[in-house]
Amino acid sequence: MNDRQATGSPVTDPPPADLLTVSDLHVDYAGRPAVRGVSLSLRRGEILGLVGESGSGKSTLCSAITGVLPAGARVRAAGLRFDGRELTELPPEDMRRIRASRIGVVPQRPMTSLSPSTPVLRQMRWYHDGHDLADLLAQVGLRAVLDRPRDHPHRFSGGQLQRLLIVLAALARQPDLLIADEPTTTLDATVQAQVLRLLLDLRDRLGPAILYVTHDLAVVAQICDRVGVMYAGRLVESGPVSQIFTAPRHPYTRALLAALPARTERGRRLGAMPGHTVAEVTLSRERGARAGSAGCAFAPRCPVVLARCHEEEPTPITMGTDVVRCHRAGETPEAEEDA
Ligand SMILES: Nc1ncnc2c1ncn2[C@@H]1O[C@H](COP(=O)(O)OP(=O)(O)OP(=O)(O)O)[C@@H](O)[C@H]1O
Ligand SMILES: [Mg+2]
């Protein structure tokens, strides 16, 4: 899973330890699997993009890492290590402390994360009083908020609120890990670019690891070092952005890249591919599992499917810097076309 092993590193300079290591994580909601056997790692200062169509389990994975899954969710993992500590073994109080001080979350909808009936400036002061608020606000170009002590959230734009939440999540607390679950989905392209620049700048100055969930592969290409592609709860491919964008190995990744929208269509949600939706595939897999077969979840939509794919679930294979779950990962696309 670790691409360091594949690329090799200088003999005299041991590689930095991973900040976060997720090993074989499963999450079920009332018995329905949402995340299945996901393993990934994240180093300090690294930005990992997580992509996949709606319902593929991206938010569930984030919530499992931060320990905020709803009641009724069941989590199983071989390991969930954060900075050398096993999170699954921590008492809830310790987990809460780590979450509050070392893991920051930038939510998808800024409006729902702030109280609508309290002035924004007062809310900013609730969350951090020990820092120089004026300086932090200046860093995101919002020093003017100080002159608007009576303005409630609805008086601010989505982009302004999102930048204020980044102040709260990232600048004020300076977490080691920042989880941003589609933080720019509701923003227009110009404001999105501002927010992305802010996150990159923050990573360069403060060095947190960032897990960045998005539907937009163009955003991944812009800011991420590595990318993980999720499909029906599985991480089907992960590797450096340079590798995945130039030589994707999983047919689903290839389909996503082939459908990469033109610049004008950015922000379009993934999932416009022909074939069955994740929900349909999950349902047919559940039927298959009951009937004793459990093949690859992507098989019903896969353009290069083999009979084996309907029967046998592929296990992750490491190929260079890439990890892929596909029976045909070792073949060249030409060989697949010939088959
Ligand atoms: N609180 C919940 N209770 C029951 N099922 C849930 C809950 N949250 C998510 N699910 C289900 O788990 C699966 C994964 O959902 P999740 O929200 O993690 O997907 P996602 O990749 O984040 O999708 P999106 O791109 O739409 O945000 C889906 O089938 C979803 O219906
Ligand atoms: Mg989500």
Q: How far is the CA of 34 from the centre of ligand 1 (A)?
A: 7
Which atom of ligand 1 has the smallest separation from the CA of 30? 4
Q: How far is the CA of 53 from the centre of ligand 2 (A)?
A: 9
Distance CA 207, CA 315 (A): 33
* pLDDT score of 285: 53
The most distant pair of C-alpha atoms in the chain lies apart, rounded to whole Å, by: 67
Question: Ligand 1: which of 50, 56, 60, 276 to mutate, most ligand atoms within 8 Å of CB?
Answer: 60
* 3-class secondary structure, 160: helix
Closest C-alpha to ligand 1, atom 1: 70
Question: Token pair for residue 149?
Answer: 């002590």
Q: What is the dihedral of CA 198, 201, 202, 203, to 10 degrees?
A: 130
Taking a C-beta distance cutoff of 8 angstroms, is the pair 56, 62 a contact?
Answer: no
Q: How far is the CA of 134 from the centre of ligand 2 (A)?
A: 33
Q: Does residue 54's CB lie within 6 angstroms of at least one atom of ligand 1?
A: yes
* pLDDT score of 216: 87
Q: How far is CA 300 from the centre of its chain?
A: 25
Q: Does residue 63's CB lie within 6 angstroms of at least one atom of ligand 1?
A: no
Distance CA 220, CA 50 (A): 8
Closest C-alpha to ligand 1, atom 16: 57
Q: How far is the CA of 108 from the centre of ligand 2 (A)?
A: 8
Q: How far is the CA of 248 from the centre of ligand 2 (A)?
A: 23
* pLDDT score of 13: 64
* pLDDT score of 36: 96
165: Cβ contacts below 8 Å, ≥ 6 apart? 106, 107, 110, 113, 114, 183
Which atom of ligand 1 has the smallest separation from the CA of 60? 18
From the CA of 281, the nearest ligand is 1
Encode pLDDT of 180-230 as tens digits.
Answer: 998 887 777 887 888 888 889 889 988 999 999 998 898 999 999 999 999
Q: 60-95: string of b/e by CB count within 10 Å (b at 16+)?
A: bbbbbbbbebeeebebebeebbbeeeebbebeeeeb
Q: How far is the CA of 211 from the centre of ligand 1 (A)?
A: 17
Q: Does residue 314's CB lie within 6 angstroms of at least one atom of ligand 1?
A: no
Query: pLDDT 10s digit of each residue in the chain, 339 long?
Result: 444 344 444 556 666 679 999 999 999 999 999 999 999 999 999 999 999 999 999 999 999 999 889 999 999 999 999 999 999 888 989 988 888 889 988 877 777 778 899 999 998 888 766 567 888 888 778 888 889 999 999 999 888 888 888 878 777 678 999 999 988 877 778 878 888 888 898 899 889 999 999 988 989 999 999 999 999 999 999 999 999 999 999 999 999 998 876 543 444 454 445 455 555 555 555 544 444 447 999 999 999 999 999 999 999 999 999 999 999 998 865 555 555
Q: Does residue 55's CB lie within 6 angstroms of at least one atom of ligand 1?
A: yes
Q: How far is the CA of 190 from the centre of ligand 1 (A)?
A: 29
